[in-house]
A and B are shown apart, each in its own frame.
Chain A
Amino acid sequence: MDHAPEPRAPSRFTRQSKGPHLLVTHTQQRSYLCSVGNSPELPVLKAAMLDFAHPMANAAYTPEAETRPACTNCVPRHPLLVRITHWVFALSFLGLLVSGIAIIRVHPHFYWGEAGNIGTPAFFSLPIRTVTGSMSGRGRHLHFESAWFAILSGLVYAVSGVFSRYFQRQLIPSREQLSWHSVRGCVRDHLTLTRQRSADSYNVLQRLAYLGVVFILFPLTILSGFAMSPSITSVFPSIVIGFGGQQSARTIHFFLSIFLSLFLAAHVLMICLFGFAQRMQSIILGRPSASKDLR
């Protein structure tokens, strides 16, 4: 950070769009993303404490930060609550994935409708050997325990995200971003592996992907899991009826987990491509190291 301080008039946001909703106020600048450029000297510990004080608020705000230049390619800055829920969720998702595989290996056949077993035609079968034994029991213990931690941390994240207007500010794309021109440009940038022109904020494809995962894929995965529970469906039969039967729900649950795994793969790939070390610092400590020049 050796350039001279300058008034921070032309924001990176405005380059992308001239829409009034994207004109960045100082308040917005201090939100989740990209606020590292505002306060690079804030000690990590102090920042973490301030985060804890105002988990979803504008934690790193200092008056002098306004005069600092914005970085040209920022790494997101994450409040403590987001960091905690991210890692609890990440571990839980790993547990769900591993235990899901263990459960499937006991009966790698999938059916459509209410009921299905070895004596009825399968919708499809995975080309893997059936494994019997206690793996299924351990797998189920891990699966349901991980599901509890995943749902609880996901709920904390979603509820606090709604109240802090995080989803509204950072994830719901603007009308400008949803325009054909903008979407086409973003797709073209991805296809040609061109560096995003405004990496400070989530681009339209990222926004849609995250919204889809948080508000469609995960709720559907949880519901299709509930649809397999004989006790839950005795209270809410519409859950299992909505999926077209208990075995259909199991099959849909499997496909949803495939989609979520693909999203995870893309998520990790993107982090590796765009600066693994800094983004790991950001999601663990809350901010990337200030000493390094940001890529």
Chain B
Amino acid sequence: MSIDLTDTSASKIAAALVQARHRSGSPAMGMVLTLIVVAEEKDSHDALRAALEAAREHPSRVVVVIPRGGRGPVRLDAEIRVGGESGPGETVVLRLHGPLAEHAESVVLPLLLPDAPVVAWWPGEPPAVPAEDPIGALARRRVTDSAAAARPLACLAQRGSGYHAGDTDLSWTRLTPWRALVAAALDQPPGEVRSGEVAAERNSPSAELFAAWLEMKLGIQVTRKTSRGPGITALRLRLDDGELAVTRPDGRLAVLSQPGQPDRPVSLHRREISELLAEELRRLDEDEVYGETVQRERTAASSSS
């Protein structure tokens, strides 16, 4: 069921949601969180699709905030979708015209699910310090995506300097399969790791985080090498008796080589935004390891410049 409201208010939207839920015959609320997506008009469609996809795993009320701004008068338009193809949750797309764009939190606050955790996601350019952003301040978890910013590495550095507990970045989420693979490879102790190298396309915040994480955890130097991509293409760890390497030239199938072991193919496909988001929503408490890594990344980056 879909309802369009023009020139409306938050309380009318909330009433429409309740009504829509009753009319679709299931007044029970099985939703586990509110996901606020702050996006520009051009990104909003894809972001909403990804959010709905993720909502299949985590039924949520998805509130998409599109700050249109402009010099016109204050106007709030809303599209509400409940049931049907929008999956188990509810969707509200808000368009904020005029000066209202500066006060989005006042519209969003009454639309938050009672008690349920709030997650904010900026699929495009994030605020400098998400925790101090009015929308970010409503959320327990703030998800940014440095790779989608105009200047990815600068954006990542900003993540480090403006870090607050509860922040995460999708460039960290993209690393999980890599990190899981190398962690599993080190479950069988390989002896001492001497140094490392991460090869990736230019401007890859994931590669920076990967290198920083390995440096921090293994106490080694990890050099950063530029390749043609896509994404991260290789990890090499120099051991006493050879090299542990994971190479992924094509963005999907990697090869794991270890001294004294046959080379083995490993699926390491690049994931969709919806999958990354679903992983983000699985845990809503602070990601301390990310916090340490992104803040370390900052010191490393600033010292090298």
Check if A and B associate: no
| Residues in chain A within 8 A of chain B (CB atoms) | none
